[in-house]
Structures are given as structure tokens and as C-alpha cells.
Amino acid sequence: MVGDLWSPTKAEHTAYPSRVSSTVRTRILRFAWDRALVRPRRAFDNRAMSRKLRSLPFGKRPGEEPYNASEVLALADSRFLFCDNNVSDSLFEFRVRADGTLGGNLQRRRIEGLDADAIDDLEGIEIVRAAGHTYIFGTSSLCLKTRKGRHKKRKRGKVLPARESIVRITVEPRGRLRAEIMPDFRPWLIEHTPWLRRAAGLIPDDGGLNVEALSWDPRRQALLFGLRTPVIDGRPVILRVKPQRIDGPWTVDNLRILPPLKLAVPAGDGESGLRAMSLDQATGTSLIILGNATSASKAPFRLYEWDGNPRGLLRHHEGVRFHKRMKVEGVTRGTVGGRSAVVFVDDAGGFQVLWGDDERLKKSEGRRGKSEGKGPHKSEGKRQKYGT
């Protein structure tokens, strides 16, 4: 009944003079209801669910090129840090206001010990607190640089020394950033991962080696390198590399390769690769962005959660959709004004906030990849918490 859902106020009663019969008044109210004029707000708004996220610009970066955010991490309440794959010697801090808008200008955080040409195409960063230290690990794309002109497939790319590196940044008192470079990581990775050798000679659009995400597995104490390409049997791949001592010498002798992990994703509009990944250390789950693996793929950007299970089963937040111009390259969970939030950055130089209580985050479903069998797995039904 209309009267049960909406009770007119005294002012609204005066809009209907006493000479208007109750029957006419009821018809007027029903007409208003049908036209959504007096309909109460529902707890679940389908229109909100259908809204696509659009990027809010950071503004113009000093110099010739715009910001090109590649990954983001949460520093503290309302404070976030992203890497720019066109800038190798600095990270950029930004603050978010309680209403989800940008709070002031970006702050450039220079990294000591890191020359501008020491590492190129910085694509992933992750913050790790371990062994009494706070580290920010970073990786280049490890991909070949495309040669100009027309060349045969195996000769379309060339190796750049600055794209063979990964970096360990120590966060020192007062926020100083001090870097150590591992310049020969790519050759070491290829040597210890034989199935990558063919991809290592190709450019990304031909399925060549291309890292676009970096995260941390606190249970295995391993770095996780998310590949945009290549994919295996149509499934995105995570490479796992364990530092024998996280605070030990920053050399390949301190590394050990672990078996790769294939993510189980449903067959979709094209091959998907990893575009962003970050660990939520409070819950032990990782947020993952999957998107088109190559420029030829039509796979859209999608948000998933992974609880670390070894089968690579993901939970898809199907209610979260991105505008076609928002190419998400970074995601993290943090707080803004004490309120839980997921923050995204994109390569067009912008960001967006999705509040933790947003219905679009609540609407999710578990999915299996096309190669996954039926029936429950023993690890399903219970959430694994990984603490540092």
C-alpha cells in the first residue's frame, strides 16, 4: 500500500484541500508513485550498479608528457603513492579528500641512489614491511623496446639494459627513499624459467614478456610478478620469486624461483593479462585488475579478488565496471578520512575512489576458468589469512 511506504507531512496535506475526496487523493499518490516522484530510496540501487567508473585527472605534469600512473599503494589514511612509467627516479604522492576528490597538488618523492636512466618503464610497485624495515619493491616491464620501421617478428624488439632491472627501495626515517638496483634480473629470470625464453625475444603485442603488476605473498615471503603477456592456455600468469633474505644482498644470488601460478578466469571477449595487483595486508587478499593482454584483444578491464589459493581461483566483482577511456593500471585498498576505500589509477593520468561500502563491491561471484574441473576444492569455503 502507498500509505504504508509514504506518509504525507502536514505541509503535503495542505496541498490536497479537504474538498478533494480520499479516492482522488489516492489516485494522485499512485500516479506520483508510478512516476517515481515519491518512491522511497531503495537500499539497493540498480542505477548505481550500472554506473561506470570514470577517472578524475591529476592535472598536468611539469614537462612535456602527462602523468602515466602504472601502480598505486596506500601510504596512510588519505595518502597514496603511485609510480609513473615515464619517470624512473621518483614516485608521486597524492592525497584524497573525504569527498573522494584530489586534495591539493601532487608531491614528487625523489628516490636517492636511482639515476633517471637506471630503470626504464617502471610498471609495478609494492610496499612490504618485514625484518624490521619498510621496503617498496619496484619492477620495470622487462619487455623489449619496439624498433622503428618494418622488421621480421623475431627482430621487432631490442633489449634495453634499463628494462632488465628491479629495485628495492628502503623507506627511511622522515620518509626518505633510498634505492638499490638489481640490473641483471631479466637474464636471471629467463635462465631459471625456460618456458619464457621464446617470449623473451618478442615484443609485447606478439606475446612477448611484459610485466605490468607486482605484489607480495607474505606466506611464502615471495615477490609476485604479474604478466600481461605471455599467457598460458589463455590464462594469466603470476611468476613467483623468493628473496632468500628480504634484507640480504640485493643480487640475483639472493633469489630463488618458485613454480608459476595460472589464474582461473572465464572465457570472455579476448585474452586477459594482469594489469595491476596489490596485497591488502589487513585481510590477506589481493586485488587484481585484468585487462586486454595485447592491443588486439577486446577483453575489458575487470576487478577481481584472490585469497592466495594455489588453484588461482578468483572472485569477480562484476558490479564494478570502468568507462572505456579508463585504462586501469593500479589498484589498492586503503582508507580516506577513516573510511574504507578502493583506489584506482589509470595511465591517462587520473584516479578514482570506490568506497568500501559501495554496493558494486558487495556484488561479486566466484568464477572458474575454462580448464577448471567441477566440484569444490578443499581450500574453498574458508578464507586463508596471510599475516606479515
Rounded CA Rg of the chain: 25
Residues sharing a CB contact under 8 Å with residue 327, sequence separation 6 or more, in sequence order: 275, 291, 301, 346, 347, 348
* Residue-level pLDDT at 20: 43
Cis peptide before 194 (omega within 30 of 0): no
Reading the block at residue 279, the C-alpha cell is: 596485497
Q: What is the DSSP string of 121-139?
A: SEEEEEEEEETTEEEEEEE
- Assess if residue 376 is contained within a domain: no
Maximum distance among all alpha carbons in the chain? 92
Q: What is the mean pLDDT of residues 230-239?
A: 95
Q: How far apart (Å, rounded) are the C-alpha atoms in residues 36 and 142?
A: 55
Identify the pLDDT of residue 49: 54
Nearest alpha-carbon partner for 142 in 170, 119, 112 = 119
Answer yes or no: is pLDDT of 181 > 50.
yes
Instruction: Give the Å distances, CA to CA, from 4 to 7, 8, 15, 39, 293.
Output: 7, 11, 20, 12, 53
Q: What are phi and psi of 173, to 5 degrees?
A: -50, 145
- Better-scored residue on pLDDT, 24 or 280: 280
Report phi then psi at 259, rounded to 5: -60, 145
Domain span at 14: 2-34
Name the average pLDDT for the chain: 83
Q: Name the pLDDT band for 343 (thresholds 50, 70, 90).
A: very high
6 and 85 share one domain: no
Q: Is the four-CA dihedral 374, 378, 379, 381 of positive or negative sign?
A: positive
Tell me how far apart the alpha carbons of residues 285 and 308 are, in angstroms, rounded to a whole number. Answer: 7
Residue 370 has pLDDT above 60, yes or no: no
Domain total of the chain = 2
Q: How far, in Å, CA of 348 to CA of 345, rounded?
A: 9
Closest Cα to residue 191, out of 253, 248, 147?
Answer: 253
Least reliable range by pLDDT among 35-49, 267-281, 301-315: 35-49
Q: pLDDT digit string (tens) for 252-307?
A: 999 999 999 999 987 776 899 999 999 998 888 999 999 999 999 999 999 999 99
23 & 126 share domain: no
Q: Are residues 65 and 6 in the same domain?
A: no
239 has a pLDDT exceeding 90: yes
Spatial distance between the Cα atoms of 146 and 202, rounded to a whole number of angstroms: 9
Compute the average pLDDT of residues 1-19.
34
What's the pLDDT at 191? Answer: 97
Does 14 lie in the same domain as 157?
no
Instruction: Please check whether residue 286 lies inside any domain of the structure.
Output: yes
According to DSSP H, which parts of 228-374 are helical?
359-362
Q: Which cell is 379 given?
A: 581450500
Based on the fold, state whether residues 13 and 97 are members of the same structural domain. Answer: no
Report yes or no on 40 lying in a domain: no
Q: How confident is the model at residue 147 (pLDDT cuts 50, 70, 90)?
A: confident
Q: Given a cut of 60, is residue 309 above it in pLDDT?
A: yes
Model confidence at 41, pLDDT cuts 50, 70, 90, reads very low
Q: How far is CA 31 from the centre of its chain?
A: 46
Evaluate whether residue 382 is within a structural domain: no
**Considering only CA atoms, which of 78, 167, 87 is closest in space to residue 125?**
167
